[in-house]
Amino acid sequence: MNDHELARKLARETGTLLVGLRKHAASLQGNEDETHSVLAQEVLGSEGDRVAHDYLMEQFSAHRPEDVVLSEEGDLEVARLSAERVWIIDPLDGTAQYSSGGDDFAVHIALWEASSSAPSQISVASVAVPSRNELWSMDEPMQRYQPNGSPIRILVSRSRPPREIGAVIQKLEEAFPERGSVEVIPMGSVGAKVGAILADTADAYFNSGGFYEWDLAAPLGIAVHNGLSVTDCSGNPIELNKVNLKVKDILICRPELTATIVSALNKK
């Protein structure tokens, strides 16, 4: 199978594995007290991360043994810095949402290639949001979007909403008065957020607090493939497979919103 087919297979099968594990855990909990329930959620989250990571590493060993794999749950091996091909994966993005029964968790599979001319050098990407029955891949037809004048919807982190959200809302309402009041929607995984934009239930997402390459690589790939704007919060391109795996900030949105949001985020 080619790289796109492999990425899609791994995202789909890992998502199915995670959903099955969660259903099994739920069947064992019964009528437990609150303390025990919280502990069960913590165990489920760590178990989900481990099981998904182990499954993906086995699959890459079988199907792409010569490639380097960078995983949130792995050892961050430095071989990736001189490699031609690096798979950047997050076996379970949105662990808190997964363990608490939410639907906004995802599996991220992306391939970075040193020779690629694609944005951020991501040539292959798949994102599965299994509880929503969504699977997005870069080799699928582009999602067509037509602005329809509805209110602008901004996605923010459930746990760390950006401090600049007020300034961004004000700027958007000034620039697009015909679209009314901006709506703010908390959501978990970056992959789930990008999926929501592609499904036309949201328009923009930004994070000024920082996160890591595995949180972003696959969602970035499918966002760019489908015509979304992907930059840092200053409007610059995103570089991946760097020595420092921390990504300072990110803006993913409909192209017509980019300049306004960047202006609000960089207002002194």
* Under 8 Å between Cβ of 198 and 226: yes
Residue at 26 is within a domain: yes
Task: Indicate if the pLDDT at residue 196 is higher than 60.
Answer: yes
Return the amino acid letter for 104: D
Please state the domain count of the chain: 2
Residue 67, pLDDT > 90, answer yes
Q: Who wins on pLDDT, 209 or 149?
A: 209
pLDDT average, residue stretch 125-130: 97
* Whole-number Å distance between alpha carbons of 85 and 82: 9
Do 125 and 211 share a domain, yes or no? no
Q: Are residues 132 and 91 in the same domain?
A: yes
Q: What is the CATH number of the domain that holds 157?
A: 3.40.190.80
Judgement on whether residues 157 and 85 belong to the same structural domain of the protein: no
pLDDT score, position 45: 56
Q: What is the CATH number of the domain that holds 37?
A: 3.30.540.10
Dist CA 171 CA 167 (whole Å)? 6
Q: Please tell me whether residues 172 and 248 are part of one structural domain.
A: yes
For residues 84 and 201, membership in a common domain is answered with: no
Query: Residue 28 pLDDT > 80, yes or no?
Result: no
Residue 144 inside a domain? The answer is: no
Among the ranges given (62-76, 86-100, 239-253), the one the predictor scored with the smallest mean pLDDT: 62-76
Of the candidate ranges 39-48, 152-161, 165-174, 184-193, the one whose mean pLDDT is the lowest: 39-48
Where a domain ends, among 103, 137, 171?
A: 137
pLDDT score at 30: 55
pLDDT exceeds 70 at position 166: yes
| Tokens read off for 256 | 């017509």
Q: Are residues 11 and 131 in the same domain?
A: yes
In a domain, 226, yes or no: yes
Q: Which of 2, 267, 268, 8 is nearest to 137 (CA)?
A: 8
Provide the pLDDT for residue 147.
Answer: 72
Backbone φ, ψ for residue 201 (5° rounding): -110, 5
Q: Is the pLDDT of residue 90 over 70?
A: yes
pLDDT of residue 38: 47
Last residue of a domain, one of 89, 112, 137: 137
Full residue range of the structural domain in which residue 118 is found:
3-137
Q: What gap in Å lies between CA 29 and CA 44, rounded to an integer?
A: 11
- Which residues, in sequence order, are bridge partners of residue 246? 212
- Asked if residue 143 belongs to a domain, the reply is no
Mean pLDDT of 104-117: 96
Domain boundary among 110, 137, 164: 137
pTM: 0.89
Q: Which tokens sit at 25? A: 């855990």
* Average pLDDT for the chain: 88
Task: Verify that 24 and 60 share a domain, yes or no.
Answer: yes
